[in-house]
Chain A
Amino acid sequence: ELKVEQNPLFLSMQEGKNYTIYCNYSTTSDRLYWYRQDPGKSLESLFVLLSNGAVKQEGRLMASLDTKARLSTLHITAAVHDLSATYFCAVDVMDSNYQLIWGAGTKLIIKP
């Protein structure tokens, strides 16, 4: 069964701290996506990682992909309150007619 597991599922942290969200997947894939969702809102694409070793950064967020380990990380540096949201990772599986297989999401709360 194709699985995408995120951990932690819930994270409460203080502003200014660093933390990492992990996304493990169970099948071969070279493409991984990170999305952000604010409460009651739509999903916004953050990063598209298309190859092994890919690293992308936007502001205080940095995402990386290790296809051999089937692992992606989303690292938050010096967190600020505005980054509070739910973060989803999704894996592109060609054998599934190009569906995205989604993780359960990590709810991130950053306290002042």
Chain B
Amino acid sequence: DSGVTQTPKHLITATGQRVTLRCSPRSGDLSVYWYQQSLDQGLQFLIQYYNGEERAKGNILERFSAQQFPDLHSELNLSSLELGDSALYFCASSVDGSSYEQYFGPGTRLTVT
């Protein structure tokens, strides 16, 4: 158990809908990262937050957005969902703004039908 929690574990929704994925980092970690992993694919970095502020953006679609709250938990919002958005979404956290070792949550499996 890495100490990073993600909810929900599974999510099934229809095309065009909007969902919110939630992540709580390890106690003491200030940085949160979001990744997308499609079936049998590698990791696609989406976005990083550090202590409430956006630090870096990767291949994140305009339909996706994220934020980190004062209590350091983070939410990833996915809207106008398409079939191709079906994937595992991972949240990871690290101690500070330098990535060093990232600790991954269990992931949220999103299925868009």
Which residues of A are in contact with B by a Cβ distance under 8 Å? 31, 33, 35, 40-45, 48, 88, 92, 94, 96-100, 102-105
Contact = CB atoms under 8 A, between A and B. Distances in A.
Contacts of A40: 88, 109
B2 A42 contact: yes
A97 B104 contact: no
A1 B3 CA distance: 33
A94 B97 CA distance: 10
B43 A97 contact: no
A98 B99 contact: yes
Contacts of B90: 42-43
B42 A103 contact: yes
B101 A99 contact: no
Contacts of A45: 101-103
A48 B100 contact: yes
B64 interface: no
Interface residues on B, range: 20 to 34
Contacts, number: 58
A96 B56 contact: yes
Contact of B97 (A44, A48, A98): A98
A42 B107 contact: yes
A31 B101 CA distance: 10
Contacts of A33: 101-102
Q: What are the nearest 9 A-B pairs in CB distance?
A: A97-B56, A43-B104, A98-B99, A104-B42, A98-B98, A42-B104, A102-B43, A42-B106, A100-B99
**Chain B CB within 10 Å — which of A42, A48, A100 has the most?**
A42
A45 B98 CA distance: 16
